[in-house]
Structure 1
Amino acid sequence: MQEPKIRVGIMYEEEIAFQLNGIYTLQQNDKTYTGKQTVKYINGKIEFDGLRCKTEEFILKPENYENSSFELFDVTIGIKFHWERKENQCFKGSLHILIENEKLTAINVLKLEDYLASVISSEMKASSSMELLKAHAIISRSWLMAQVLKSEALQSSKQIYQTITESSEELIKWYDREDHNTFDVCADDHCQRYQGITRQSSNAVLRAIEATKGIVLTSDGKICDARFSKCCGGVSETFENVWEPETHKYLQAITDGKESSLKLDLKIESNAKNWILNSPDVFCNNNDKAILSQVLNDYDMETPDFFRWEVQYTQDELSDLIKRKTGKNLGQIQDLIPLERGLSGRIIRLKIVGDEKSFIIGKELEIRKVLSESHLYSSNFIVEKENIKNTIPSHFTFKGAGWGHGVGLCQIGAAVMGAKGYSHKEILLHYFKNAELEKRY
C-alpha cells in the first residue's frame, strides 16, 4: 500500500482570500498563478481572475509540492467552542474549492504524513515527549485511515447515515460523519485539529512521524477508529455511548491509572456523584504546567479546570439557554435528571424538567451544546440546586469531570505517562485494549 493522499475541509465562506507562495496551476484553464488571490461565490458560480465557471471543483496545484505553500486568510478555529477565533493559516499541497449550499468550501489535498506533522503540532506542543509524539502519530494516522475507509463503505453501500432519533418528547443526536461528504475530515476539533504548517513542526515531531511511518492500530485485522480527547476525567467512555450504537472492543471504559480495570460502576448515580466530587489518583489528575503544556496550546491553557470543573447559572440564564438551544419553551427549569450514564459517568440521556413541559436530550455532545453557549466541558456532571421556591430553583451549579467525550486516548493522561517513562506502545495499549500495532505502508 502506498502513502494515501487526503482531503481536509478548511473553511466555508462566500468569499475566500488567499496567497500562493510559489507557482500554482489552475486545472480549469491551465494558467499559472502566484501571490494574493480572491475567489468568490456569485449566483451559483465560482468567480476567479475574471472567470465565472459553474464547476464541481476549482483546483490549484503547486508546481513544486515540497517548496510551495498557500495561505488562507481568516480561517475560523475552535468553531462554536469557548475560544473560537480567526487566524491566517498556511498549507502544503493543492487547494481545491467547490460550491456547497451557496458558499465556497476550501479543501487542502496533501500527503497523509504531511497532514500528521501538522495535526500533532496543532493538537499538542511540538516539544512533547518523544513517546507521546509517537503514540499520537499512530492514533492520528489510524483514526484518519479508519474515517476514509468508513466514508468509502458508506458511499458504496448508499446507506443514509442516520444520526438523529427525534420525537415531540425526545431528541437523541450524535455528531460524527454527517457533515463531511465532500472531504475526508475537517480541520477543526470536530475531527482532528489541523492548522497546516502554521504550527511549525519540530524535528522531534518529524522524527516521531518517520519512526512510526505507516504504523496503525488494528483489531481483528481492521484499522482501529482510534479516538482521543483532552481529558477523560479518570475513566474513559465507550464508543457506542457517544456515537452510533456500534461496539468496538478496543474502545472500552478503563480507569486512567496504573490499575486500568474499572472497579466502580459509574452508571449508578450515587457512584457517579462521589467520583465527580472527589479527586482520584489517575494519570490525568495532574497540574504540572510543564506536562500540561505538552498537550495544551496557548488557548487551551486558558482552561485551567479541565479535570474537575464548575459552572453556575441563574434560573433565567438556564431556562433562556435551553429555550434557545432546543427551540422548545419548557418554562422555568425545575430539574435536570440523568436517565442514563455511560461507564465513565458521562450522561447519555438527560431529562430536562420545566414547569410547563419536560424534554429528553442525548447523546453527550448534544447535552453539552444545549447546556452551554459553546460546549460544556463534558457531559460528566451533577447538578446542585439552590433557593428552591414552589419547585423552582433560583440557581444551578454544575460540577463536572473531564474535557471532551472521553473515548480512547486521554491526551493529558498520555502526556503524564510519557513523562513517567512509559513507551508509546505501553501508552497505546493502556488506552486501546485488544489492539495491536501493524505497519500498513
Structure 2
Amino acid sequence: MQEPTIRVGIIYEEEISFQLNGIYTLQQNGKTYTDKQTIKYINGTIEFDGLRLKTEEFIFKPENYENCSFELFDVTIGIKFHWERKENQVFKGSLHVLIENEKLTAINVLKLEDYLASVISSEMKASSSMELLKAHAIISRSWLMAQVLKSEALQSSKQIYQSVTESSEELIKWYDREDHNNFDVCADDHCQRYQGITRQSNDAVLRAIEATKGMVLTSDGIICDARFSKCCGGVSETFENVWEPQSHKYLQAITDGKESSLKLDLKIESNAKSWILNPPDVFCNTSDKAILSQVLNDYDMETPDFFRWEVKYTQDELSELINRETGRDFGKITDLIPIERGLSGRIIRLKIIGEKASFIIGKELEIRKILSESHLYSSNFIVEKENNSNSFVLKGAGWGHGVGLCQIGAAVMGANGYSHQEILQHYFKGAELEKRY
C-alpha cells in the first residue's frame, strides 16, 4: 500500500482570501498564480479571476510540492469552544475550493504523513516526550485511515448516516461523520486539530513521524478507530456511549493508572459522586507544569482546571441558557437528573425538568453543548443545588469525551519512562501494531 493522500476541510466562508507562496496552477484554466488572491461565492457560483462556475471544484496545484505553500487568512480554530479565535495558517499541498450550502469550503489535499506532522504539533507541543509523540503519531494515523475507510464504506452502501434519534420525550444525538461529505476530515477539534505547517516547531515531531511511518493500530486485522481526548478524568469511556451504538473491544473503560481495571461501578450515582469529589491517584491527575506544557498549547493552558472543575449557574441563568440552546420552553429549570451514566461516570442521558416541561437529552456532547455557552468540559459531573440561592453547581471531571488515549495521562506516562508501545497498550487493550506502508 502506498502512502495515502487525504482531503482536509479547513475554512467555510462566502469569501476566502489566501496567499500563494510559490507558483500554483489553477486546473480550471491552466493559468499560474502566486501572491495574494481572493475567491468569492456569488449567487450560486464560484468567482475567481473572471471565471464563474456553478459546481466545479477549483483546484490550485503547487509547482513544487515540497517548496510551495499557501496561507489561508482568518481561519477559525476552536469552533464553539470557550477559546475560539481566528488565525492565519500555512499549508503544504493543493488548495481545493468548492460550494457547500451557499458558501465556499477550502480543502487542503496533501500526503498523510505531512498531515500528521501538523496534527501532532497542533494537538500538543512539539516539545513532548518522544514516546508520547510516537504513540500519538500512530493513533492519529490509525484514526484518520479508519475514517477514510468508514466514509468509503458508507458511500458504497448508499446508506444515510443517522446520528439522531428523537421522540416526544427525548433527543439522543452524537456528532461524528454527519457533515463531512466532500472531505475526509475537518481541521478542528471535531476531528483532529490540524493547523497546517504553522506549528511544526522542531524536528522531534518529524522524527516521531518517520520512526512510525505507515504504522497503525489494528484489531482482528481492521485498522482501529483510535480516539483520544485531552483528559479522561481518571477513567476512559467506551466508544458506544459517545458515538454510534457499536462496540469496539479496544475502546473500553479503563482506569488511567498503573492498575487499569475498574474498582468502582461509576454507572451508579453514589459511586460517580464519590469518584468526582475524591480525585483518584491516576496518571492524568497532575499539576506538573513541565509535563502540561508539553501537551497543551498556549490557549489550552488557559484551561487549568481540566481534571476536576466546577461551574455555577443561578436558576435564571441556567433556565435562559437551556431554553435558548434547546429551542424549547421549559420555563424555570427546577432539576437536572442523570438518567444514565457510562462506565467512566459520564452522563449519557440527562433529564431536564422545568416548571413547564421535562425532556431527556444525550449523548455526551449534546449535553455539554446545552449546558454551556461553548462546551462544558465534559459530561462527567454531578449536580448540587444551593437552596438558599436557587443556584445549580456542576462539579465535574475531565476535559473531552474520554474515549481512547488520555493526552494528559499519556504525557505523564511518557515523562515517567513508558515506551510508546506501553502507552498504546494501556489505552487500547488488545490492539496490535501493524505497518501498512
Q: TM-score range by the shorter chain?
A: over 0.9
Question: Given residue 315 of structure 1, which amino acid in structure 2 is its aligned partner?
Answer: Q
Distance in 2 of aligned mates of 1:366 and 1:144: 23
Q: Which residue of 2 aligns with 1:14?
A: 14
Distance in 1 of aligned mates of 2:74 and 2:357: 43
Q: Which residue of 2 aligns with 1:405?
A: 401
- Unmatched 5+ residue regions in structure 2? none
Verify: 1:29 aligned to 2:29, yes or no: yes
Distance in 2 of aligned mates of 1:167 and 1:30: 53
Deviation at 1:56, TM superposition (A): 2.6
Q: Which residue of 2 aligns with 1:253?
A: 253
Verify: 1:437 aligned to 2:429, yes or no: no
Structure 1 runs (4+) greater than 6 angstroms displaced: none
Deviations 1:38-86 (A, max 9, x none): 0000011100012212233110000100000000000000000000000
**Match of 1:10, SS?**
strand
Q: Which residue of 1 aligns with 2:365?
A: 365
Distance in 2 of aligned mates of 1:406 and 1:184: 23
Deviation at 1:119, TM superposition (A): 0.2
- Unmatched 5+ residue regions in structure 1? none
Verify: 1:424 aligned to 2:405, yes or no: no
Distance in 2 of aligned mates of 1:109 and 1:183: 9
Deviation at 1:200, TM superposition (A): 2.2
Distance in 1 of aligned mates of 2:108 and 2:302: 29
Deviations 1:315-334 (A, max 9, x none): 11100000011100111111
Q: Which residue of 2 aligns with 1:267?
A: 267
Distance in 1 of aligned mates of 2:168 and 2:324: 16
Is 1:118–1:201's contact at 8 Å kept on the other side of the alignment? no
Distance in 2 of aligned mates of 1:200 and 1:408: 25
Question: Given residue 10 of structure 1, which amino acid in structure 2 is its aligned partner?
Answer: I
Distance in 1 of aligned mates of 2:168 and 2:80: 26
Distance in 1 of aligned mates of 2:12 and 2:100: 8
Is 1:117–1:201's contact at 8 Å kept on the other side of the alignment? no
Deviations 1:184-243 (A, max 9, x none): 000000000000011124111100000000000000000000000000000000000000
Verify: 1:294 aligned to 2:294, yes or no: yes
The residue correspondences of 1:174-189 to structure 2 (distance < 5 A) are 174-189=174-189
The residue correspondences of 1:32-431 to structure 2 (distance < 5 A) are 32-387=32-387, 394-431=390-427
Deviation at 1:167, TM superposition (A): 1.6
Aligned residue pairs total 437
Question: Given residue 405 of structure 1, which amino acid in structure 2 is its aligned partner?
Answer: H
TM-score by length of 1: 0.98
Distance in 2 of aligned mates of 1:224 and 1:251: 9
Identity of aligned residues (%): 89
Distance in 2 of aligned mates of 1:395 and 1:54: 53
Deviations 1:327-361 (A, max 9, x none): 00111111100000000000000000111110100
